[in-house]
Structure 1
Amino acid sequence: MTSADMTQAEGLRDNLDQLLSSNGIRLGAAQRRRLVWLVERLGNATCHQGASDPVRDSGVVVVVEPPSGPAAEMLYRSLRANSAVVIPFGENPAFDFLKSKLTDFGTIGPSLDGPHEMWWGGLNWRAIALDGGPPNDTPLRVVSCYPRACGDDQVRWLRDKLAEFEIASDIAPIETADGGHIRASEKTAFMLRMWHEHREPLLFIEANATLTEPPRLPSSLDCDVALHKWNRWEMSARTLFLGRSPAAEALLQTWHHIASAYPQVWEGYLLDQAWSLTSSQMPLDTVWLPRSYHVPAEDVGTPRHTTVVHNLPADNSDLGPDAEFGMAMRTARRASRSGGRDSMIVVKSEAMASDVVTVIMRDIATSDAREVAASIEALTGAFAADCGGFGRLELSLCSWQDDIRAAKSAARSANNRIIEIAPWQTLPADLFRTVGQSRNSGSVVVMTGQRG
Structure 2
Amino acid sequence: MTSADMAQADSLRTDLDHLLSTNGIRMNAAQRRRLTWLAQRLGPVGLHQDGSTLVRDNGVIIVVEPPSGPAAETLYRSLRADCAVVVPFGENPAFDFLKSKLTDFGTIGPSLDGPHEMWWGGINWRAIAPDDDCQADAPLRVVSCYPRARGDDFARRLRDGLAEFEIACDVTPIDTADGERMGAAEKTAFIQKMWHKHREPLLFVEADAMLSEPPLLPLRLDCDVALHKWNRWEMSARTLYLGRSTAAEALLRNWHHIASAYPTVWEGYLLDQAWSLTSSQLPLDTVWLPRSYHAPAEDVGTPRHTTIVHSLPADGSDLGPDGEFAVAMRAARRASRSGGRDAMIVLNSEIASDDAITVIMRDIATSDAREMADSIEAVTRAFAADCGGFGRLELALCPWQDDIRAAKSAARSANNRIIEIAPWQALPADLFRTVGQSGDAGSVVVMAGQRG
| Distance in 1 between residues matched to 2:144 and 2:450, nearest whole Å | 57
Q: CA deviation at 1:442?
A: 0.8
Amino acid at match of 1:259: A
- CA deviations on 1:6-54 (whole Å, 9 max, x unpaired) are 4434333322111111101000000000100000000010011134354
In 1, the alpha carbon distance for the partners of 2:266 and 2:451 equals 44
In the TM superposition, residue 2 of structure 1 has moved relative to its aligned partner by: 5.2
Q: Once the 2 structures are TM-superposed, how far is the Cα of residue 56 of structure 1 from its aligned partner?
A: 1.0
Aligned counterpart, 1:105: 105
CA contact (8 A) 2:46 2:53 kept: no
1:67 — aligned with what? 67
Determine if contact 1:54/1:74 at 8 Å carries over to the other structure.
Answer: no
Q: Which residue of 1 is the match for residue 424 of structure 2? A: 424
CA distance in 1, matches of 2:197, 2:374: 44
Match of 1:274 in 2: 274
Q: In structure 2, what residue type is equivalent to 1:142?
A: V
Amino acid at match of 1:324: E
Distance 2:234 2:59 in 1: 30
Equivalent position of 1:95 in the other structure? 95
Distance 1:9 1:334 in 2: 34
Rounded to whole Å, the distance in 1 between the matches of 2:50 and 2:324 is 35
Task: Give the percent of matched residue pairs that are identical in Structure 1 and Structure 2.
Answer: 79
| Aligned-residue offset at 1:299 | 1.6
Cα distance between partner residues in 2 of 1:8 and 1:260: 49
CA distance in 2, matches of 1:289, 1:11: 31
Deviations 1:114-169 (A, max 9, x none): 00000000011112112334112211000000101111101111111111111000
Q: Is 1:195 matched up with 2:216?
A: no
Offset of residue 398 of structure 1: 0.7
How many residues were matched structurally? 452
Secondary structure at 2:145's aligned position in 1?
strand
Q: CA RMSD in A?
A: 1.0
Q: Which moved more, 1:8-17 or 1:261-270?
A: 8-17
Where does structure 2 lack aligned partners over 5 or more consecutive residues?
Answer: none
Distance in 2 separating the partners of 1:20 and 1:83: 19
Give the match's secondary structure for 1:126: coil
Amino acid at match of 1:254: N
> 1:249 — aligned with what?
249
Match of 1:320 in 2: 320
Distance, in Å, in 1 between the alignment partners of 2:13 and 2:421 is 37
Where structure 1 has 5 or more consecutive residues not aligned to the other structure, the ranges are none
CA distance in 2, matches of 1:122, 1:308: 22
Partner of 1:390: 390
* One-letter identity of the residue aligned with 1:11: S
Residues 247-297 of structure 1: CA distance to partner in whole angstroms, max 9, x if unpaired? Answer: 000000100000001001000000000000000001000000011000001
Secondary structure at the aligned position of 1:305 is classed as coil
The aligned runs of 1:116-131 (5 Å cut-off) are: 116-131=116-131
User: By how many angstroms is 1:3 displaced?
Assistant: 4.7
Alpha-carbon distance between aligned partners in 1 of 2:178 and 2:84, rounded to the nearest angstrom: 45
Give 1:183's aligned residue. 183
TM-score (norm 1): 0.98
Give the corresponding residue for 1:303.
Answer: 303
In the alignment, is residue 333 of structure 1 matched against residue 333 of structure 2? yes
Kept in 1, the 8 Å contact 2:47–2:53? The answer is no
Residue pair 1:54, 1:75 contacting (<8 A) in 2 also:
no
TM-score normalized with structure 2 length = 0.98
Q: Is the 8 A contact 2:107 2:336 kept in 1?
A: yes
Q: Which consecutive segments of 4 or more residues in structure 1 shift more than 4 A? A: 1-6
2: CA distance between counterparts of 1:41 and 1:421? 41
- 1:46 aligns to what SS in structure 2? strand
